[in-house]
A and B are shown apart, each in its own frame.
Chain A
Amino acid sequence: MPSLDQVQREFASAIFHASRPVPAGVGSNHGGAANKRFAVYRNNVVMSLTDVVAAFFPVVARLLGGDFFRATARAFILERPPASPVLTRYGAELPEFLSEFRPVTDLPYLPDVARLEWMQQRAYHAANARPLTRADLSHVEPDEVPRLCFLFHPSAQIQRSRFPVFSIWRTNTFDEDVKFIPAEAAGEAVLVSRVGLEVKALLLDPGFYTFFEALMAGVPLGEAAMEASREASAFDFQKALAALLDLGAVYGHGAS
């Protein structure tokens, strides 16, 4: 009699290789072939995980369209199946997979759209923390402000793309008539954060990405603002600080 390990090894392998026969010793009480019976397991695995990917990446699904999306999701699932039963974390590798998946090379912005959607998925489940408010900062002496360092909220993440990734995501998420966004339009940077129970995405003005990136690395406020101004002469410090606070992106501060 085959060992349990052997039974499960063959069963697992046959699930992911549709061309393989039903494992020996697996069948039907009624006799006859058990292909359609075994196919239930194959379908359950791929279909249920396709639903997970579609739920976490609705814009990727929409950009690819029904059958093309399902075929792409299937290829992803078979190549990079979940490693954990906690499926809220499944999909982290989709952006990288899409950047290497030949059938989607005509959509070069797709991996970055997937990255933006994954950031939102992570923000949704990130740890809770009370964000910093303007009142929290009111006691800071003006000459101490440049030396402030911020702790970022667990949900806060930034992305910079050479594609108009935010515009593509926004029109496909909110517009009844989806706008045409030329892929060669200027690249965009985005801040994602959770405000209360709601995940928000904000298109960043010039210099903001550099500013936030420096702050996230622990650079003090004054120095981060200078870096941002060097990159973008129009960098608006007050507006950038307001954006951070409005999106609840920071939850603590200290002096350098």
Chain B
Amino acid sequence: MTLNRPRNTSSGVGRTSTGNGRSEGITPEQIAAINDLFAVHAKLGLLDQKTTIHHNLKGIQRFLEGIPGSTDKLEWYAPDGEDYDITRTDCEAKIVGCEFEDGELKDLVISKVHKPIIRRRTAEGKTRILQPALVEVTKRTENIEKEASNEPTKDD
């Protein structure tokens, strides 16, 4: 049994599989640009919310959502504040500062998102994950929930 890894997880990091069914028409640069745009949104979230730069970013976002030669769309999403457990496959997590009861990973929450979940959505509404989110996870407390809910997402 060879231990090759699935290509669309961060375990298979660094492997790009452009041109196949899942990511046809999408270049690694487009995915990288989406990650950059996501980071810009996150950083701007710390600044004055009234800034009109969001309008300019929206234009870039519309461009990146499109897939040349296809009616499919790309969408991305930050799962901030959502519950996390080890079996979530749309996130690659780093678990920080948790003491576990009975050795179990319970009551975990996504506290920070470094890369969003990127999905390809077909005209029929079917979605497939192109990139799992890269997240930090911690024990759920009220503070963290509040903090997480203040983090900007694509829809902000």
- Are A and B subunits of one complex? no
Query: A interface vs B, CB < 8 Å?
Result: none
Query: B interface vs A, CB < 8 Å?
Result: none
